[in-house]
A = this chain, B = another copy of it.
Amino acid sequence: MNDRTVISFENIKIACSGCNLVTLCLPMGLDPDDVEQLNKIIKRSRPLHRGDHLFMESDRFNYLYVVKTGSVKTYAPNEDGGEQVLGFHLPGELIGLDAIEEGRHHCSAKVLETSAVCEIPFSQFVELSSTIPSLQHQMYRLLSREISHDEEMLALLGKKNAEERLADFLLSLSQRFKSRGFSPFDFYLSMSRHEIGNYLGLAVETISRLFTRFQDEGLLKVERKHIQLVNIEGLHVILRREQREENRRQIT
């Protein structure tokens, strides 16, 4: 992960059964035969480049996408050219789940760095899942996970202050890198300060100041996009300490 420009193009086209994401992704917990059936309907894209869109808001919904390598951001554009960043998606994460109900995308998805994705034709998927109960159940679980995650973000935006938000964000990234076999201490951000701020409901300047402060406090080292978490426990303490203060002040 130290040299993030090295991307293994050989395994982009690899089948689900041989994909190292099999424990995170849709095939999780499926029988090999079922994985193979799923594998057959999945299309694997050529590598996409920074700025490419998987889909745009209001596009017709035909595919679910899974990040295979790289990272993708989803965002809801609003009339005036502004946007709300809804999420940053790492390998193994499904994109487009909010489009199922209306058959039309509610957000746009833009590639943050050279990335590969798997495309799952949704109508074929629905057919297949009606014949494979464990696939259906796995899909329920993934949809449910997305709901849980969004609800955690609601609590973050509704209640946490700026430093808690950034600490939470960094710890979440760290955790997700870890479960994908990358270093949880040393990674590169594929998104800009601006995008982080937008995602966390904060101004760019606030993000910048917080990075500086966290570095001064010895919590991390930051050099542009390169982040090294020096004191992960310290970041956890930020979340917990503020909770104890709230305790005293009796805030809801």
Contacts and interface: CB of A to CB of B under 8 A. Distances in A.
Interface stretch (A6-14, A99-107, A179-187): A99-107
B126 A83 contact: no
Contacts of A97: 143-144, 147
A31 interface: no
A66 to B, nearest CB: 16
A67 B198 CA distance: 35
Contact of A84 (B140, B146, B159): B159
Given A101-B148, A147-B97, A79 B154 contact: no
A147 B148 contact: no
A2 interface: no
A157 B83 contact: no
A98 interface: yes
B100 A144 contact: yes
Contact of A150 (B126, B139, B151): B151
Contacts of A158: 84, 157, 198-201
B201 A159 contact: yes
A125 to B, nearest CB: 10
Interface of A: 76, 78-84, 86, 97-102, 106-107, 126-127, 129-130, 133, 136-137, 139-148, 150-155, 157-159, 194, 198-201, 243-244, 246-247, 250-252
